[in-house]
């Protein structure tokens, strides 16, 4: 048993098991950041730097750079990060409610269903990574209006193009593997999130320096950045810590029953079932931002089409999905709606998988005034739907905060890409930090240490 007078932070290091997990996690993240600086074969570094210094710092490319952990700006072998895996998860989770056989498989045996889900997510991530690599290369070459990576399956380029494609696909699977190593041997269940987290945090100093170099609007932009960061942190912490405690009744033990029969006053604490205001956490933001990449990526295949209407449609699509463009309001409205919609979708998926109605019925518990089983599940679903609304709306507002900031402070328009990454990145960072603390505190409790990290 640990010494109760010892600080929880000190015990993290003195506990050999927890120390090994933390050191392993940090070691894998360092390895990821080293690999993030290895360029893909055939990259024209000068053209790439000139592109990002110009128009490549905003819009959907910022989201790609965000989800890849900052590797896209270097076009490294890990340029796509883990987002093809996330996209594969989205596709499968969308298919489960649509295909009855898949839904039946998930409901009959949840453990076996999760194994099936993980296996096919890995399988689907490989073609998704290959398609994303082709789309990214074509999009970069088209937007930069010069060749950043020579690519094409022509007689003189097919071998180098195939090599680049295989290396980038393997890089994505390598990043996913590193994340799974962290989840298995490091901080449990946080591998992929920590990979994204490490990339976001590594970009913050660069963004601050970029704002500092703006001689005209330096202080106004830095002040706005600080305000965005503080409001984002306060909002996400407030939402994620929100709970609705539903009272439940468990069968009375015989000792308590006999004590009441003898006329003794027995006071028992009222057990409750806590329902989270934002059960989905940071996942809706990643879902929405990942899906918003596909129209622009697909348009990248047709940007140089010889057919006029196809080329115009591809150009209009890329313009619409540019968050820093003149007509970016359509993009931000769509982003807001997708964040809200995915919050409800993912919350419903997670809540249905937990199946509180049957679980409470099996344990003999009941909500006062509600029948056990299906009626309980419907009652709890209505409560969860109501408390999800303010969390979903707040999450959507925080997600589009860069656009709102541009309306209030026009000087921020030139740095919209930085605010886009900073506000959206903070949503992920705060969520990952919170989940990581919860995982570490769970490890402390397993070792018999009851104090919390943030108050010890």
Beta bridge partners of 247: 272
Length of the chain: 456
Q: Identify the pLDDT of residue 456.
A: 43
- Of 426, 376, 442, 390, give the one whose Cα is nearest residue 278: 390
Q: Distance between alpha carbon 249 and the CA centroid of its chain, in Å?
A: 36
Question: Do the beta carbons of residue 317 and residue 332 sit within 8 Å?
Answer: no
**CA-CA distance, 450 to 443, in Å (whole number)?**
10
Angle between helices 83-98 and 158-185 (to 10 degrees): 80
Q: Identify the pLDDT of residue 258.
A: 44
Domains in the chain, start-ordered, CATH in brackets?
Answer: 8-446 (1.10.3370.10)
- Which string of DSSP letters, residue by residue, matches 337-403? HHHHHHHHHHHHHHHHHH-HHHHHHHTT-B-TTS-STHHHHHHHHHHHHHHHHHHHHHHHHHHTHHH
Contacts of 6 (CB under 8 A, 6+ apart): 14
Q: Which helix (H) or strand (E) is 241 found in, with range?
A: none
Question: Do the beta carbons of residue 329 and residue 403 sit within 8 Å?
Answer: yes
**CA-CA distance, 423 to 93, in Å (whole number)?**
27
Q: Which helix (H) or strand (E) is 246 found in, with range?
A: strand 243-247
Q: Identify the pLDDT of residue 190.
A: 80
Question: Do the beta carbons of residue 21 and residue 443 sit within 8 Å?
Answer: yes
Q: Distance between alpha carbon 245 and the CA centroid of its chain, in Å?
A: 26
Q: Identify the pLDDT of residue 264.
A: 52
Q: What is the four-CA torsion angle of 71, 72, 74, 75, rounded to 10 degrees? A: 110
- Of 230, 148, 194, give the one whose Cα is nearest residue 24: 194
Q: Identify the pLDDT of residue 56.
A: 47
Ramachandran quadrant class, 44 (left: phi over 0; alpha: psi -120 to 50; beta: rest) = beta
Alpha-carbon dihedral sign for residues 65, 67, 71, 76: negative
Q: Which helix (H) or strand (E) is 164 found in, with range?
A: helix 158-185
Which tokens hold the place of 167?
Answer: 């290396």
What residue ranges in 104-227 does DSSP mark as E strands?
none
Question: How do 243-247 and 272-276 pair as beta strands?
Answer: antiparallel
Residuewise pLDDT in 10s, the chain (456 residues): 455 555 666 767 777 788 888 889 899 988 988 888 888 888 877 777 777 665 544 445 665 665 565 677 778 888 887 878 888 887 887 787 778 887 777 767 777 877 888 888 899 999 988 888 887 787 777 666 677 788 878 888 888 888 888 998 998 899 899 988 998 888 887 888 888 888 777 777 776 776 677 666 677 777 777 777 777 777 777 777 778 888 887 765 444 544 544 555 545 556 788 888 776 666 787 677 767 767 776 776 677 777 888 888 887 777 777 665 545 677 788 888 988 888 888 888 778 767 787 778 777 778 888 888 888 888 888 888 888 888 888 878 877 776 777 677 665 555 555 555 555 666 677 777 777 877 777 777 776 666 665 544
Q: Identify the pLDDT of residue 430.
A: 76
Beta bridge partners of 283: none
Which tokens hold the place of 65?
Answer: 């750079």
Contacts of 112 (CB under 8 A, 6+ apart): 105
**CA-CA distance, 441 to 437, in Å (whole number)?**
6
Contacts of 309 (CB under 8 A, 6+ apart): none
- Which string of DSSP letters, residue by residue, matches 131-152? HHHHHHHHHHHHHHTS-SS---
Question: Do the beta carbons of residue 440 and residue 453 sit within 8 Å?
Answer: yes
Q: Position of tokens 């005034």?
A: 369
């Amino acid at each position: 048993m640990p010494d109760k007078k010892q600080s929880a932070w000190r015990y993290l290091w003195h506990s050999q098991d927890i120390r090994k997990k933390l050191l392993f996690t940090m070691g894998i993240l360092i390895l990821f950041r080293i690999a993030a600086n290895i360029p893909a074969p055939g990259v024209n570094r000068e053209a790439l730097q000139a592109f990002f210094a110009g128009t490549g710092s905003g819009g959907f490319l910022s989201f790609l750079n965000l989800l890849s952990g900052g590797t896209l700006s270097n076009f490294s072998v890990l340029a796509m990060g883990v987002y093809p895996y996330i996209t594969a998860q989205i596709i499968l989770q969308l298919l489960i409610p649509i295909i009855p056989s898949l839904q039946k498989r998930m409901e009959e045996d949840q453990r076996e269903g999760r194994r099936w889900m993980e296996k096919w997510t890995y399988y689907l991530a490989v073609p998704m990574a290959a398609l994303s690599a082709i789309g990214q290369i074509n999009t970069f070459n088209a937007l930069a209006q010069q060749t950043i990576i020579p690519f094409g399956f022509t007689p003189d380029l097919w071998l180098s193009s195939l090599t680049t494609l295989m290396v980038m696909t393997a890089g994505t699977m390598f990043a996913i593997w590193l994340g799974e190593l962290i989840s298995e041997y490091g901080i449990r269940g946080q591998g992929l999130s920590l990979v994204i987290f490490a990339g976001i945090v590594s970009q913050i100093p660069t963004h601050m320096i970029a704002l500092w170099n703006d001689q005209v609007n330096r202080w106004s932009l830095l002040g706005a950045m600080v305000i965005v960061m503080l409001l984002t942190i306060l909002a996400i912490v407030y939402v994620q810590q929100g709970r609705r405690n539903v009272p439940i009744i468990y069968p009375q033990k015989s000792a308590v029953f006999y004590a009441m029969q003898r006329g003794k006053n027995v006071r028992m604490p009222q057990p409750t079932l806590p329902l989270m205001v934002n059960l989905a956490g940071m996942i809706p933001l990643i879902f929405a931002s990942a899906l918003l990449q596909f129209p622009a990526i697909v348009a990248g295949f047709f940007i140089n089409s010889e057919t006029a209407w196809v080329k115009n449609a591809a150009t209009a699509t890329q313009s619409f999905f540019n968050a820093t463009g003149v007509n970016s309001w359509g993009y931000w409205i769509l982003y807001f709606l997708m964040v809200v919609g995915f919050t409800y979708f993912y919350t419903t998926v997670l809540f249905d998988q937990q199946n509180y109605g049957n679980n409470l019925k099996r344990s003999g518990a009941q909500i006062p005034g509600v029948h056990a089983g299906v009626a309980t599940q419907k009652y709890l679903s209505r409560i969860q739907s109501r408390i999800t609304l303010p969390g979903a709306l707040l999450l959507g507002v925080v997600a589009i905060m860069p656009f709102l900031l541009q309306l209030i402070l026009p000087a921020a328009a030139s740095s919209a890409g930085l605010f886009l990454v900073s506000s959206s990145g903070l949503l992920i960072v705060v969520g990952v930090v919170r989940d990581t603390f919860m995982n570490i505190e769970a490890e402390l409790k397993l070792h018999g240490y009851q104090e919390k990290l943030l108050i010890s």
